[in-house]
Amino acid sequence: MKRLWAPWRIEYILDENKQKSCLFCDISQNNGNKTTNDKRNLILYRGQHCFVLMNKYPYNNGHLMVVPYFHTPTFEGQSDDALFELIKTVKNSVTILKNAMSPDGFNIGLNFGKVAGAGMESHMHLHVVPRWTGDTDSMPIIAETRVMPEHLRKTYIKLNKFFKNKVNSEK
């Protein structure tokens, strides 16, 4: 029998704080050393109205989330400027993922409400998931297991360089 190890999942399973407050509000705040906290929280980019972070429990390598700072479960309350930046940041994230990881396509989406599949239903966010031909083999169907070919931190380091280059080129 073969074993597939995913030791990073235990962090999520045992996290006592996962239901007590808003994860996105908590990690978006600049407490302490921003660089250290951003690296620990897998934040790749901070804009005026939104930020980009890697999903700690991804569907695929490079799975990003674009999150507005404003806490709302849907579009309500978001300014036009915030909504524009949100979509522009999704566009930039797709471009960066294309350059960094050469995916064959993308799933981009958001879920409003638990019934729609929202895992974090109190704070809206858009998922940007790179996809490759053949990345959905039989493992998820037969073994209910997704194989991640690259460690999360290694992907973070790779993508962080691209996000920094993008930000620096816009100045």
Residue 102 belongs to a domain with what CATH number? 3.30.428.10
Considering the domain boundaries, does residue 86 fall inside one?
A: yes
Structural domain boundaries enclosing 124 = 22-131+143-169
Residues that are catalytic: 125
Q: What is the pLDDT of residue 120?
A: 78
Considering the domain boundaries, does residue 6 fall inside one?
A: no
pLDDT digits (tens, 9 = 90+) for 92-105: 999 999 999 999 99
CA distance 127 to 65: 5
Model pTM score:
0.76
33 vs 40 pLDDT, higher one: 40
